[in-house]
Amino acid sequence: MQKRKLGYTALPNTENSIALIKKNKRPTEARQSQRKHAYGRDSEMPQQLDNRIMNKQKRYILQENDLPKQWYNILADMPNKPLPPLNPATKKPVSVDDLAHIFAKACAEQELDTQNAWIDIPEEVQEKYKYYRSTPLVRAYALEEALQTPAHIYFKNESVNPLGSHKVNSALPQCYYCKQEGVTNVTTETGAGQWGAALSYAASVYGLSAAVYQVKISMQQKPYRSLVMRTFGAAVTGSPSMSTRAGKNIITRDPMHQGSLGTAISEAVELATTTPNCKYTLGSVLNHVTLHQTVIGLEAEKQMALAEEYPDVVIGCFGGGSNFGGLAFPFMRHNILEGRKTQFVAAEPDSCPKLTRGEFRYDFGDEAGYTPLLPMFTLGHDFKPANIHAGGLRYHGAGVIVSQLIKEGLMRGEDIPQLETFEAGTLFARTEGIIPAPESNHAIAAVIREAKRCKESGEKRVILFALSGHGLMDMTAYDQYLNGDLHNYALSQEDIAQSLKVVPEI
């Protein structure tokens, strides 16, 4: 494991006396010193930023009557449709009825819909969206200046949503459909807790009882997220647990198992299928979840038009694909139908690199094998990710649609070490004033790589990325980073080959 070397300094325009003590410097000394940033530029005071920031519009916000009234279903426009999900018992394509045993029927229908490009957003959900949408599109002038890049950098700021991330965009419609169906109980999994918090909130809005299985290591790293869920009335259990058969089996095989999204999904699905009047809800991976998230990209299209620009590159962090796909798919539509040449980059942890080092196979979406078999890039459904702080990205597989588009070369994955992501997130915080979630740091690191390439080539590219959430409940991770206690994790090809042995042969 690689350990970060310390180099404490005062933050720009602040008196960070705690950090100064660790360097044994007097505050006045340290304020006069400049820290050479890892990206090759000295940190600067805000007043030193160049004139590109002055008298320029920074934020673009839509009026309520301009909000999307439909979600975009990219499946209808894809010339090469993904392979169908399979029933693991029969190896035949699943039906709506098969999925409706687990999900709300409307979600099951959306999951398998390959014909309708536009799906109406229920009016009641539209009204709920109006409480917080549109989210701002922001020009990151200060980050551009810090990097001295000719690139124009924009970010879609989903951190201003209720509960601080994009996840509520799908939690609300999933709970709405469950309520319409007469369901009274919902279950789900969560990693870092953004989805669990959003689902708990949405369940409370619609009067549903929620049970959340949170990945055990993430529950320990981010204790306040489970408290948020409980505040909204959810029951929260660390996964793997002894409360389900799947959890017991996992703990029996490995008593020290720290959990993954795959284990938490298994437990949540099992509880949903063994509890009366209960449905399972999912925060990523599946088509209907990403469908709901396209409100991000549909808004961004209109906002980029207000800025009189169009993205050359669209970037998002990648766990299962809902945040990335939600931003990317509306722009990919123009590539497919109009021949645009926008590039799409999915930024994933190098310790969980399914897009860059996994294999395209049929695999289960969970560790116990309860879900349908999905055609995806996978590391194997019992893959045990390293204990990185980006809990929402610790998932073995990729969503079906993104997997197909990457397989065809229409998108690409980029894997990034943990330390580089926190270096990027810290720079973003010091320039743009928002502390990003560890997941979002992966997107920011990929943006910085692209911006540096623009600096080297002199090309003025337009970069758009998704800030999926804030990191105000992830400060333990930043504390470890700033104290030099955070590490990179090496993943050998032998480890990947071993985990792929469990993947079914289809």
Residues 252 and 297 both lie in one domain: no
The 10s digit of each residue's pLDDT in 324-348 is 999 999 999 999 999 999 999 999 9
Q: Tens digit of pLDDT for each residue in 81-138?
A: 999 999 999 999 999 999 999 999 999 999 999 999 999 999 999 999 999 999 999 9
Neighbours of 316 (CB within 10 A): 31
d(CA 306, CA 179): 37
Residue 329 and residue 295 share a domain: yes
* Dist. CA 95–CA 325, nearest whole Å: 24
pLDDT bucket at 153, cuts 50 / 70 / 90: very high
pLDDT at 289: 98
Inside any domain, residue 72: no
In a domain, 449, yes or no: yes
pLDDT, position 50: 53
b/e string for 281-309 if b means 16 or more Cβ within 10 A? bbbbbbbbbbbbbbbbbbbbbbbbeebee
Which of the listed residues 221, 253, 280 is the one where a domain comes to its end?
Answer: 280
For residue 40, pLDDT beyond 70: no
How many domains in the chain?
2
pLDDT confidence tier of residue 54, bands split at 50, 70 and 90: low
Q: pLDDT of 375-407, one tens digit each? A: 999 999 999 888 888 778 889 999 999 999 999
Q: Which of 230, 217, 228 has the alpha carbon at shortest distance from 261?
A: 217
Q: Looking at the structure, tell me whether residues 290 and 437 fall in a common domain.
A: yes
The 8-class DSSP code of residue 362 comes to E
Do residues 271 and 170 share a domain?
yes
pLDDT category at 315 given cuts 50, 70, 90 is very high
In this structure, is residue 87 part of a structural domain? no
Residue 233 vs residues 9, 211, 230, 428: alpha-carbon distances, Å: 42, 9, 5, 34
3-state per-residue secondary structure call for 274-336: HCCCEEECCCCCCHHHHHHHHHHHHHHHHHHHHCCCCCCEEEEECCCCHHHHHHHHHHHHHHH
Banded pLDDT at 56 (limits 50, 70, 90)? confident
Query: Average pLDDT, stretch 460-489?
Result: 96
Q: What is the mean pLDDT of the chain?
A: 90
Contact criterion met (CB below 8 Å) for 209 and 236: no
DSSP string for residues in 432-481: HS--B-HHHHHHHHHHHHHHHHHHHHT---EEEEEE-BB-TT-HHHHHHH
- In a domain? residue 88: no
Q: Which residues pair with 469 in a beta bridge?
A: 165
Of 4-18, 337-351, 486-500, where does mean pLDDT reach its minimum?
4-18
Residue 302 and residue 272 share a domain: no
Q: Are residues 325 and 176 in the same domain?
A: no
Question: What CATH number is given to the structural domain containing 303?
Answer: 3.40.50.1100
> Looking at the domain assignment, is residue 100 inside a domain?
no
Domain encompassing residue 268: 166-280
Residues 290 and 336 in one domain: yes
Q: Which residues, other chains included, contact 74 with Cβ-Cβ below 8 Å and sequence gap of 6+?
A: 117, 294, 325, 329, 332, 333, 336, 401
Residues 295 and 388 in one domain: yes
Q: What are phi and psi of 397, to 5 degrees?
A: -125, 170
Residue 92 lies in a domain: no
Among 365, 348, 34, 352, residue whose Cα is nearest residue 217: 352
Domain co-membership, 264 together with 311: no
The answer to whether residue 466 scores a pLDDT higher than 90 is yes
- d(CA 86, CA 83) in angstroms, rounded, equals 9
When pLDDT is averaged across residues 180-194 and rounded to a whole number, the result is 95
Co-location of 310 and 440 in the same domain: yes
Q: Are 331 and 314 in contact (CB under 8 A)?
A: yes
In a shared domain, residues 208 and 243: yes
Residue 370 zone, left/alpha/beta (φ > 0; ψ -120 to 50; rest): alpha
Q: In the listed set 256, 280, 304, which residue is the last one of a domain according to the structure?
A: 280
Q: When comparing pLDDT for 15 and 339, which is higher?
A: 339
For residues 151-160, average pLDDT: 99
Q: Looking at the predicted structure, is the pLDDT value of residue 5 above 80?
A: no
**pLDDT at position 392:** 80
CA distance 419 to 486: 7
Residue 491 belongs to some domain of the structure: yes
Residue 482 maps to a domain: yes
Out of 263, 280, 297, pick the residue that ends a domain. 280
Same domain as 338, residue 248: no
Let me know: does 222 contact 163? Beta carbons within 8 Å.
Answer: no
